[in-house]
Amino acid sequence: MTVITQLLKDEPSLFATLKIGDLVQGTVIEKGSKMLLVDLGKHGTGVVYRGELQNARELVRGLKAGDPVHAKVIDIDNEDGYVELSLSEADKQRAWAEVQELKEKEEVLKLKINGFNKGGLMADVRGLPGFLPVSQLSNEHYPRVGVDEKGKILQALQLLVGQELEAKIIDVNSRTNKLIVSEKAAQELSAKELAEHYSVGQIIEGVVSGVADFGAFVRFTDNPVVEGFIHVSEIDHRIIDNPKEVMKIDDVVRAQIVDIKNGRISLSLKALKENPWEKAGAFLKEGDEVKGTVYAFTQFGALVNLDHDLQGQVHVTDFGGIPEMKKELVAGESRTFIVQSVKPEERRITLKLKKD
């Protein structure tokens, strides 16, 4: 029976609070090449063996007798009668406790990016591996490429390696070694702050900061930290196949706020434009012959751009099928059509190709 085992039997209250996994603080008694002895006070003497000394060599290098040291208990009574300790595990556990505290305080950290993969960026956070997903990049650094351009996304991420970014910790789980940070969270105004500064119906001026297949991002002129999003359906009263046809980066636009939800602002360009459908009945009627430009094809037929910012549709059944339709109609080509119906309330004009 070891000395510590006998003490535990005779004086259990002395060691009742010490268990494997505990973090303890002690004072270095002796430092050697094979072991480090630590005075743990009422808990007895701790020891760090050679393997652990190698794991924590950066921590051990400057230690000398009398120095305070933090360690993690890995055995309360080993075969030599010591409390066996780990310095590296203690340092890691303290780091996890620190990042948890930083998360709770919502501290903004400066992190140097040291790697990337297809999902995002890597950075050292208090000695722990942190991950910054692409979705958590700020508006400035978010890759403005299509979903099918993965190669360009990787290129954009690689350019950020070596840079220092500001970020907040948004998720911590030491059991799964998950540490997620967000550059966007460090820059975004809180939902409360957004509500104080902006409201639905308000008209803002901004600069297009990115254009994607599904819409455009607009950075506010009065506060560049704030960015809103214009969905493709809110660009114009007519159907837009690709936002890049009508918008480009650095365009200055005026838009109306149509929604503020979960700290995100939705914008609309078409809300500030005259609605052509309100006067469609005055411009067109059944039986009219009109000139139109074939704009795009859908599974139902073809969209045709008309005068007065209106748009009509030719149904695929008029041709027998999509292949036959594409033999008759060519995108970008101007043709003559006959108006079959005008239904402004449904935003629908049905056309039929006039045969030569």
Give the highest mean pLDDT range of 5-14, 18-27, 135-144.
18-27
Does any domain span residue 100? no
* 177 and 200 together in one domain: no
- Contact indicator for 22, 73 with CB cutoff of 8 Å: yes
Is the pLDDT at 6 greater than 60, yes or no? no
Task: Look at residues 239, 272, 305 and tell me which one is the last residue of a structural domain.
Answer: 272
Contact 71, 46 (CB under 8 A): yes
Q: Is residue 99 part of a domain?
A: no
d(CA 137, CA 186): 10
- Kindly state the average pLDDT of the residues 163-191: 86
pLDDT value for 5? 44
- Tell me if 122 sits within 8 A of 131, measured CB to CB: yes
| Domains of the chain: total | 4
Q: What's the mean pLDDT in 255-283?
A: 91
Residues 138, 82 within the same domain? no
Asked whether residue 101 is assigned to any structural domain, the reply reads no
pLDDT tens profile 286-333: 999 999 999 999 889 999 999 999 999 999 999 988 999 999 999 999
Q: Are residues 344 and 290 in the same domain?
A: yes
- Residues 265 and 297 both lie in one domain: no
Are 283 and 268 in a shared domain?
Answer: no
The answer to pTM > 0.85 is no
Same domain membership, residue 221 and residue 145: no
Q: What is the DSSP string of 116-173?
A: EETTEEEEEETTEEEEEEGGGS-TTTS----TT-HHHHHHHHHTTTT-EEEEEEEEEE
Quick one: 339 and 284 in the same domain? yes
pLDDT at 236: 93
Residue 82 falls within a domain, yes or no? yes
Radius of gyration, CA atoms only, the chain? 33
Domain hosting 292: range is 277-353
pLDDT of residue 13: 41
Q: Are 267 and 255 spatial neighbours (Cβ–Cβ below 8 Å)?
A: yes
180 within some domain: yes
Last residue of a domain, one of 256, 272, 288: 272
> For residue 87, which of 50, 134, 118 has the smallest C-alpha distance?
50
| Residue pLDDT, tens place only, 99-130 | 999 999 888 899 999 999 989 999 999 888 99
Average pLDDT over the chain, rounded to an integer: 87
Domain of 48: which CATH number? 2.40.50.140
pLDDT tier, 145 (very low <50, low <70, confident <90, very high otherwise): low
Q: Is residue 96 part of a domain?
A: no
Residue finishing a domain among 89, 123, 153: 89
**Residues 258 and 298 reside in one and the same domain:** no
**Is 169 exposed, middle or buried, given 0-12, 13-18 or 19+ CB atoms closer than 10 A?**
buried
pLDDT of residue 348: 93
Residue 313 lies in a domain: yes
In-domain check, residue 98: no
Alpha-carbon distance values, 307 to 24, 291, 328 (Å): 79, 8, 22
The reply to whether 206 and 252 lie within a common domain is yes
